[in-house]
Amino acid sequence: MAAVFGSPREAGNTVVDGPSHAHRCDQLLYDDPELRRPAQPGPSSLLLAVTTKGLAVEKQTGLDDNLLHSVNVSDSPVALAQGITLAGILRRSFRLYGHRLAVVDEHTRLTYRELDERSNRLANALIDTGLKRGDRIGVLSETRPEYVEIYAAAAKVGLTVIALNIRLHPDELAYCVETARPLLLMTSGAHVPQIDAFRNRVSSVHTWISLDTADGAFLDYEEFLLGGEETDPYSEVAPNDIHNVLYTSGTTGRPKGAMITHRAAAIRGLRLAQWFGLDERDGFVGWLPLFHCGGDESLYATLLTGGVFAAVHKADVKLMYRLIEREKLTWTLLLPGVITDFLHDSHRRDHDLSSFRFAIGYANMMPQVVKELTRELNIRFWDAYGQTETSYLLAHGEVLPGAEPSLHKSPAPLLDVMIVDNDMIEVPVGIPGECVVRGPSVMSGYLDDPAATAEAFRGGWLHTGDILVRNEDGTLTFADRKKYLIKTGGENVYPAEVEHVIAQHEAVQEVCVLGVPDEHWGEAVKAVVVLRPGQCVSGEEIVAWCRQRLASYKRPRYVQFLGPQDIPRSTTGKVLRHELARLPVSAEQKV
């Protein structure tokens, strides 16, 4: 018997209390054998780690995890017959919704049929360069229609998209490209200078393509695409093939590439479509980058259900207003740094936003802003908890128009969530513990980083690194960030990375970086700095030092100088971060 996507708002196969409108969701059903809760993990549990070349089955033996054997099960007839791929759900939509509008921006309008034809041409052009299933291609671009075409084309022929973060420093981008080793790289014109800064350091890329005006160093994207055949290449793609790699910062300061399979990408889109009651009447304001899970998952959910994806190259709320009014768009993510602009910009009242029915974001970070937003626009808000490694829909709480946001969140369907102690024993209701997850939308490890993968999948569960509490009613409450992660404007910043950079300054003796509440960004980066004896440096100089070595969103917004005697420490000399976090944030510290 097929399992209906679990949602607290369903009766049978009809959404009766979903956002705004009800519809049948029979075609969004999916029954996966991985949903069966396995036995309590022990020393002999199996860890599945997928690479772009196949599936490795790793047996854990005590503290020494030894790779016993590798098997490529992705292409077995049974696996293919049972599987679901992103390519499959895209082809379904291309057939069903051919005449409907699929992708727009200010100047471009593509129907599903046109998107299908153009992605076919691009897929065939990529094959003509010698690329084959499992090969990697890099993309460095803001959100635009061409990015959607690239994702669709890659899905059709089993290429892995290395989705590079445009906000990274050239040195960080170089690290990603050097470790991922894409054979082809596409970039928008705005980011050619970033590529020029590291191009001579990478050897894997044999083809460089510009999405804008080409020059001698870059092929022209449109000419390249039109050189491919219009027929569907129909290459075999398996559910466990890696569709894309999304980068998330690591505690060691280096970006880590989370590998997302075709099945995981498809399930992420299916889950969003069901949970939010999407159909062909919906349209997404796609200002989030497609190298973020919030962007690509929302794209898949939109295309799955025949909706419109509006590509917005940056968080320009005036453009967002215009597209909502013109295309009757219905939903988006409003994260710290954008939600306040979206709510308070004076041009909002000049536009008809009546089609807009819900937004997703972080209500726990700025509850009063969310309350005002839902009241002013008469919309619902979904308070999100998730991460790149699992999906941004790990748990959500609903906020009705004008209501006070609750901290309780319902776990998403098709995910098995446990709250455990340090020994991987499930803790009782009401007791904080680490959130660990299993399910078909979980990533398949970090790209070419077996040590980080083994650490993340201890005991056969994905460790989120976040502390949550399970409530009596089964909902979850976020308690703390186990790894001191700072979430600023929708971006993840790990203090260790920023501390490492600041500590290299010759005037700095010690530094501690932490997140502080910020009305605009949700959280902001603060650096508490101890200078060497006799040294003198300003907060502006610290920030300038960071700007030369880090992505801009990682640099401190506040800098506070303390003497070494003012740093709170444990008996072992460890800095007590929670006490530093209680220090007041003043205007004098702002930089």
What's the pLDDT at 116?
A: 98
Instruction: Say if residue 504 is in the same domain as residue 370.
Output: no
Relative to beta strand 14-15, strand 10-11 is antiparallel
Dist CA 271 CA 414 (whole Å): 8
What's the pLDDT at 364?
A: 62
Q: Which helix (H) or strand (E) covers residue 15, if one does? A: strand 14-15
CA angle 580–167–544, rounded 5-degree value: 55
> What pLDDT, in 10s, does the model give residues 202-260?
999 999 999 997 777 899 999 999 999 999 999 989 999 999 999 986 444 688 999 99
Instruction: Say if residue 453 is in the same domain as residue 502.
Output: no
Among 411, 439, 468, the domain boundary falls at 468
Q: What is the mean pLDDT of residues 439-464?
A: 96
Name the token pair of 295. 């962007």
Q: What is the mean pLDDT of residues 258-284?
A: 96
> Is 44 inside any structural domain?
no
Percent of the chain residues past pLDDT 70, beyond the cut: 84
What's the pLDDT at 483?
A: 67
What's the pLDDT at 75?
A: 67
Number of domains in the chain: 2
Residue 544's SS3 state is helix
Q: What is the mean pLDDT of residues 396-406?
A: 92
pTM of the entire structure? 0.76
Instruction: Say if residue 359 is in the same domain as residue 449.
Output: yes
What's the pLDDT at 571?
A: 40
Instruction: Say if residue 375 is in the same domain as residue 226.
Output: yes
15 has a pLDDT exceeding 80: no
Percent of the chain residues past pLDDT 90, beyond the cut: 65
Residue 258 pairs in a beta bridge with 246, 446
What's the pLDDT at 62?
A: 32
The helix/strand count (H/E) of the chain reads as 16, 30
The model's confidence at residue 485, banded by pLDDT at 50, 70 and 90, is: confident
The model's confidence at residue 61, banded by pLDDT at 50, 70 and 90, is: very low
Instruction: Say if residue 573 is in the same domain as residue 530.
Output: yes
Dist CA 281 CA 254 (whole Å): 41
The model's confidence at residue 147, banded by pLDDT at 50, 70 and 90, is: very high
Residue 553: CATH number of its domain: 3.30.300.30
Exposed/middle/buried for residue 569 (C-beta within 10 Å: 0-12, 13-18, 19+):
exposed
> Is 42 inside any structural domain?
no
Dist CA 51 CA 134 (whole Å): 9
> Is 136 inside any structural domain?
yes
Name the token pair of 207. 């083809």
Among 468, 502, 523, the domain boundary falls at 468
Among 468, 499, 515, the domain boundary falls at 468
Q: What is the mean pLDDT of residues 343-365?
A: 90
Instruction: Say if residue 211 is in the same domain as residue 112.
Output: yes
> Is 92 inside any structural domain?
yes
What's the pLDDT at 453?
A: 96
Dist CA 460 CA 454 (whole Å): 9
What's the pLDDT at 27?
A: 35
Residue 340: CATH number of its domain: 3.40.50.12780
Q: What is the mean pLDDT of residues 464-477?
A: 93
What's the pLDDT at 546?
A: 96
Between 520 and 557, name the one with better pLDDT: 557
94 has a pLDDT exceeding 60: yes
Instruction: Say if residue 447 is in the same domain as residue 515.
Output: no
Instruction: Say if residue 457 is in the same domain as residue 544.
Output: no
What's the pLDDT at 28?
A: 36
For the chain, the average pLDDT equals 85
> Is 476 inside any structural domain?
no
What's the pLDDT at 74?
A: 55
> Is 72 inside any structural domain?
no
158 has a pLDDT exceeding 90: yes
62 phi/psi in degrees, rounded to 5: 60, -135
Between 381 and 83, name the one with better pLDDT: 381
21 has a pLDDT exceeding 90: no
Q: What is the mean pLDDT of residues 165-181?
A: 93
29 has a pLDDT exceeding 80: no
> Is 51 inside any structural domain?
no
Tell which phi-psi region holds residue 147, choosing left (phi > 0), alpha (psi between -120 and 50) or beta.
alpha
Q: What is the mean pLDDT of residues 128-134?
A: 97
Q: What is the mean pLDDT of residues 134-147?
A: 97
Q: 433 to each of 47, 360, 494, how far by Cα in Å?
A: 22, 25, 21
Instruction: Say if residue 519 is in the same domain as residue 429.
Output: no
Q: Which helix (H) or strand (E) covers residue 273, if one does? A: helix 262-275
5 has a pLDDT exceeding 50: no
Identify the domain containing residue 441 by its residue range. 10-35+77-468
> Is 66 inside any structural domain?
no
Q: What is the mean pLDDT of residues 560-577?
A: 76
- Asked if residue 280 lies in contact with residue 97, where contact means CB atoms within 8 angstroms, the answer is yes
The model's confidence at residue 365, banded by pLDDT at 50, 70 and 90, is: low
| Lowest model confidence (mean pLDDT) among 208-212, 415-419, 427-431, 517-521 | 517-521
Instruction: Say if residue 375 is in the same domain as residue 439.
Output: yes
Instruction: Say if residue 180 is in the same domain as residue 138.
Output: yes
Instruction: Say if residue 430 is in the same domain as residue 555.
Output: no
Q: What is the mean pLDDT of residues 346-354?
A: 96
